Amino acid sequence: MSKRDYYEVLEVGKEASPEEIKKAYRKKAIKFHPDKNPGDATAEDKFKEAAEAYEVLSNADKKTRYDQFGHAGLSGNGGGYGGGMSFEDIFSRFGDVFGDSFGGGFGSFFGGGGSSSAGRRRVNKGTNLRVTVKLTLDEIANGTTKKIKLKKYIACKSCSGTGEKDGSSSKTCPTCNGRGAQTRIVNTMLGQMQTSSTCTTCGGEGKIISEKCNTCFGEGVVSGEETVELKIPAGVSEGVQLSVSGKGNAARRGGVNGDLLVIIKEILHPEFQREQDDLIYNLFISIPDAIIGTHVEIPTLQNKVKIKIDAGTQSGKTLRLRNKGLPNLNGYSKGDLLVRINIFIPTSVTKEDKILLEKLKQSDSFNPENKKHESIFDRFKGYFSQ
Q: How confident is the model at residue 91 (pLDDT cuts 50, 70, 90)?
A: low
State how far the alpha carbon of 354 is from the alpha carbons of 244, 359, 385, in Å: 65, 9, 34
Between helix 41-57 and helix 87-94 the angle, nearest 10°, is: 40
Residue 311 neighbours by CB under 8 Å, 6+ apart: 291, 292, 293
Q: Which of 198-207, 329-338, 350-359, 363-372 has the lowest mean pLDDT?
A: 363-372
Cα 370 from chain centroid (whole Å): 56
Q: Given CA atoms 375, 376, 379, 384 in this order, what sign does their dihedral have?
A: negative
One-letter amino acid at 8 equals: E
Topology annotation, domain 272-383: HSP40/DNAj peptide-binding domain (2.60.260)
DSSP for residue 126: P
> CB–CB of 108/119 below 8 Å?
yes
Mean pLDDT on 340-345: 92
Q: Which of 71-85, 104-118, 348-362 has the lowest mean pLDDT?
A: 104-118
One-letter amino acid at 182 equals: Q
Domain boundaries, the chain: 272-383
Integer Cα distance of 169 and 244 in angstroms? 34
Pick 111 or 89 by higher pLDDT.
89
Give pLDDT tens digits for 114-140: 333 334 456 778 889 999 999 999 999
Residue 251 pLDDT greater than 80, yes or no: yes
> CB–CB of 216/156 below 8 Å?
yes
Mean pLDDT on 209-236: 89
Instruction: Report pLDDT for 57.
Output: 93
Integer Cα distance of 91 and 206 in angstroms? 15
Instruction: Report pLDDT for 81.
Output: 43
Mean pLDDT on 280-286: 94
Pick 350 or 103 by higher pLDDT.
350
Backbone angles phi, psi at 161, to 5 degrees: 85, 5
Beta bridge partners of 343: 285
DSSP state letters, 341-358: EEE---S---HHHHHHHH
Give pLDDT tens digits for 262-271: 999 999 999 9
Pick 347 or 367 by higher pLDDT.
347
Q: How many Cα atoms are found within 13 Å in the side-chain-facing hemisphere of 174?
A: 1
Integer Cα distance of 92 and 121 in angstroms? 8
